[in-house]
Structure 1
């Protein structure tokens, strides 16, 4: 008999006392592999069959990256997973295929198969739909689900199928499909715990939903040849509608799948990005807590607050909170990566006289990758460290990996574009940033810096000046630096001198240290030389 305990944060409510025979599990694998809703390649299907078969035969020692690479994916005996991430890439895609399957045709299946991150050993649990109430089991010292919900340890959201208001019963599938895509997109970001309501269950509302903080619901409407989707987010703790949006498209049956994906990307980018609805809603609840009173998620929120409201005060809040969390709860890869980012920001921008060496930041970032290798944000922070260390090819490889983890998503798209641009990809990088600016109202404005760099590279100084107007971080020396150098290149000396004076207020020794500080972020000599020439025109002679 087989028994495994479900991983915390699984997107369904699971009974962890279930047992299954090998025959039960083989039948479940057969259901998955034969389903049209299991979107996996032949290699990923073989991957799933391999790990299940070896688990059932008691050969879990073979469920390692090297063995899977050589047997399932046909790699040679000299395979090195440090340079060839094929197994982790396909494992991540397989996990997503399983998630999609259990949100669609597999929602009522008796056995839920997972491959938890950080391992290739499968887990098997009995699956219950979100509408089924389960008894609460409490271990000594552990919080019940309701206590965890109330304490705000991790935000939880229930996604309900969108109601069909088109007047055509045959369109009901579209509401289910849109909710499916939103649920899948949310599961890519481990900061939010997601539950799913099956399409055939009684409607869930504020009074009968499981213990989730947020409820996402919506409806679809059709007027002549226009299809409209309305979406609302409810904060159940406060009994408030806190956000809503609507999206329209011309009705074309051949393009409904792409419309579902676009709705999901747009909605989740507004909810889960660093300056999104979850952050704005939950951040005010923790601003008066001491670092040792914060949960891991609350420390992550303070990091996002620093990213959005760049100041010495918000930096220190994030710095203290992340150090405390990483000392006490060492298994969260994202927290370690954020601590790496905080260290490296201070190292490269010289905000405060703190000991934040780049080597330590790199070690923290590497620990984040080891703990959470399939997290896109973790990978982007590692790429950022590579940039600061002049390891451009390694940085590009890390960003390519991050792109494969969440293709098409709007969350962090501008940050991927920012890093690609600074690493020298002058085509894809600016395109990704512009796309995020157009589609995501909560994009990170600091990424405008990379667009400014690209305009300077092309000698388009008016465009660069316009870009500098969108870069507003008064406590950061890069804001007056960008304006002063481009105004010097434009010959607008009087305005440039004023910006240069602001730069020297931020960094009095910039003439001595400036080239080193610029080189942390701009790796190409021709661009650096143009900046230095512009600064000289406004009376800052950089050594």
Structure 2
């Protein structure tokens, strides 16, 4: 395979906004690729990488300092994510197989997507002159033109940077080493890089590893700083970490985490700590969201006003009131008009349109169909603008589900959760889709995990868990969950409560729910079968639920 084609693919990866890697990981990749292409693959060892890339001294010992192995793991995941997103059509695959650090180059073609890796280029670089070899001579005219066109198109696409409102910038500072040992330094560095990697999966924040230079107006100053320290005991480490609001110097959040320092355990421990930190800070309703939601400006600039629309969406999801949805929809429509490349605003607007479709009573089929069509279009716009935007993927999953494209919906949800397994908002929604599609065991497990990881989350978790217990025939547990839910302004809460309580034999409470529906939602009562069938996929689940509604005294058409 020609050297220049491999180098071009490296450039394509490094120039991509979707290559979610730190500067050190980028140097790592550049180093091993260039060494391999220069015929020095036999020199690519942990020691040489540590010394030449990471600046470690000649006394570096890979047996006691796992930094290269840790960074290689981060790099492999970054490459996997890149090829899952904007690198899906790249002509060349660059991988670093586990067990070593020598890269492998594979040619991707329509007829050989699953072909084994091709051999590396010649071990003797002098076989290729310094002058660029004409691609037609190297690969043959047709293949060369396809490769060149692919690279040119990809580079031109990636040169366009979306114009979006100002989002929270978080500076992750190096963690202080409290012991001054090489092992503690390696663990502190590894923890920082893993936290940067996990935080970067949340696309509604910008993660920084260094503060902008004084006077550099091209880069926004961070509003939040994550700082901490690492200490060692005989066989474990402790990370103490805190998030600081740079506006007033207040500490918004602080916690500590422990992990074992055996080589076999340290990588997993660092990953676990990073997941906990990123979930606490960056998830929906997390620490950063709460801090920004409490900021109120009398005359906000356009970018803050647009960003505030996304915060108001999450406030609306707490109670799902129709009048609030109207104002949020209007705000988000203005936001995408002002910032047409703001992927998150498109995604949340799609979710509002989905709510227009699923929470509309009485049902206007023309309006409902139009809302679903708008939802799917807005979701796909969000994903096109940013393939890694989890809210966009979530909206696409829901729009496909309500469009009765169940398999496609679940595929999107699965892919999105693989992109960011720490996103509890997506986890809960995907779990709900799985459960309602009949995969109750796996779906309910995800809903429960989402609720545990996001204790300040929405009330629909309790409704979902009530349904999980209900379909598991555990009616006392189902009744406990439904009574815990705070979303009693939503008519569907009362529909679920009526079914759960009637099936469990709680007649007085079930009668109360039936009366509420009769008095407040007569249009829903007249269309109960349609409302249930819109949400539950399997006919046996629909009929069982309808039977429970009949036990509650509701008249449901057969």
TM-score of the superposition, structure 1-length normalised? 0.71
Alignment of 1:309-320 (within 5 A): 309-320=319-330
Instruction: Pick one of 131, 144, 154 that aligns with 2:167.
Output: 154
CA distance in 2, matches of 1:124, 1:525: 46
Q: In the alignment, which residue of structure 1 is the partner of 2:449?
A: 435
CA distance in 1, matches of 2:510, 2:89: 56
Q: In the alignment, which residue of structure 2 is the partner of 1:182?
A: 195
1:511 aligns with 2:530: no
Q: In the alignment, which residue of structure 2 is the partner of 1:17?
A: none
Structure 2 residue matching 1:469: 3-state secondary structure: helix
Structure 2 residue matching 1:539: 3-state secondary structure: coil
CA distance in 2, matches of 1:275, 1:119: 39
Q: State the Cα deviation string for residues 453-474 of structure 1 (Å, max 9, x = none).
A: 3333232222222221332212
| Structure 1 range deviating more: 430-439 or 268-277 | 430-439
1:75 aligns with 2:99: no
CA distance in 1, matches of 2:109, 2:458: 42
1:65 aligns with 2:69: no
1:485 aligns with 2:499: yes
For the structure 1 residues 252 and 367, does the alpha-carbon distance in structure 2 shift closer, same or farther, using more than 3 Å as the test?
A: same
For the structure 1 residues 44 and 318, does the alpha-carbon distance in structure 2 shift closer, same or farther, using more than 3 Å as the test?
A: same
Q: In the alignment, which residue of structure 1 is the partner of 2:400?
A: 386
Instruction: Pick one of 407, 418, 432 that aligns with 2:432.
Output: 418
Q: In the alignment, which residue of structure 1 is the partner of 2:555?
A: 541
Q: In the alignment, which residue of structure 2 is the partner of 1:164?
A: 177
CA distance in 1, matches of 2:297, 2:30: 51
Q: State the Cα deviation string for residues 101-120 of structure 1 (Å, max 9, x = none).
A: xxxxxxxxxxxxxxxxx973
Report the CA distance between 1:515 and its aligned residue: 1.6
Structure 1 residue matching 2:438: 3-state secondary structure: coil
Instruction: Pick one of 198, 205, 208 that aligns with 1:195.
Output: 208
For the structure 1 residues 256 and 317, does the alpha-carbon distance in structure 2 shift closer, same or farther, using more than 3 Å as the test?
A: farther
Q: In the alignment, which residue of structure 2 is the partner of 1:258?
A: 268
The number of residue pairs the alignment matches comes to 449
CA distance in 2, matches of 1:480, 1:288: 39
For the structure 1 residues 403 and 532, does the alpha-carbon distance in structure 2 shift closer, same or farther, using more than 3 Å as the test?
A: same
1:527 aligns with 2:541: yes
Give the unaligned 5+ runs of structure 2. 1-7, 24-28, 38-43, 50-67, 94-105, 115-151
For the structure 1 residues 349 and 463, does the alpha-carbon distance in structure 2 shift closer, same or farther, using more than 3 Å as the test?
A: same
Instruction: Pick one of 467, 476, 484 that aligns with 1:453.
Output: 467
Contact 1:414 1:443 in 2 (8 A): no
Contact 2:329 2:352 in 1 (8 A): yes
Instruction: Pick one of 114, 120, 133 that aligns with 2:154.
Output: 120
Structure 1 residue matching 2:484: 3-state secondary structure: coil
Instruction: Pick one of 237, 247, 268 that aligns with 2:278.
Output: 268
1:501 aligns with 2:515: yes
Q: State the Cα deviation string for residues 230-273 of structure 1 (Å, max 9, x = none).
A: 21111101221111122234554421211111111111112111
The higher radius of gyration belongs to: 2
CA distance in 2, matches of 1:448, 1:42: 34
CA distance in 1, matches of 2:550, 2:153: 56
Give the unaligned 5+ runs of structure 1. 15-24, 52-62, 85-117, 126-142
| Structure 1 range deviating more: 399-408 or 258-267 | 399-408
Contact 1:269 1:411 in 2 (8 A): no
CA distance in 2, matches of 1:268, 1:192: 11
For the structure 1 residues 42 and 391, does the alpha-carbon distance in structure 2 shift closer, same or farther, using more than 3 Å as the test?
A: closer
Contact 1:395 1:423 in 2 (8 A): no
CA distance in 1, matches of 2:380, 2:265: 41
For the structure 1 residues 481 and 119, does the alpha-carbon distance in structure 2 shift closer, same or farther, using more than 3 Å as the test?
A: farther
Report the CA distance between 1:38 and its aligned residue: 4.3
Contact 1:226 1:251 in 2 (8 A): yes
Structure 1 residue matching 2:284: 3-state secondary structure: coil
Q: In the alignment, which residue of structure 1 is the partner of 2:308?
A: 298
| Structure 1 range deviating more: 460-469 or 227-236 | 460-469
Structure 2 residue matching 1:221: 3-state secondary structure: strand
Q: In the alignment, which residue of structure 2 is the partner of 1:95?
A: none
Contact 2:410 2:430 in 1 (8 A): no
Report the CA distance between 1:487 and its aligned residue: 0.9
For the structure 1 residues 26 and 257, does the alpha-carbon distance in structure 2 shift closer, same or farther, using more than 3 Å as the test?
A: closer
Q: In the alignment, which residue of structure 2 is the partner of 1:367?
A: 381
CA distance in 1, matches of 2:387, 2:109: 22
1:336 aligns with 2:336: no
Report the CA distance between 1:384 and its aligned residue: 0.7
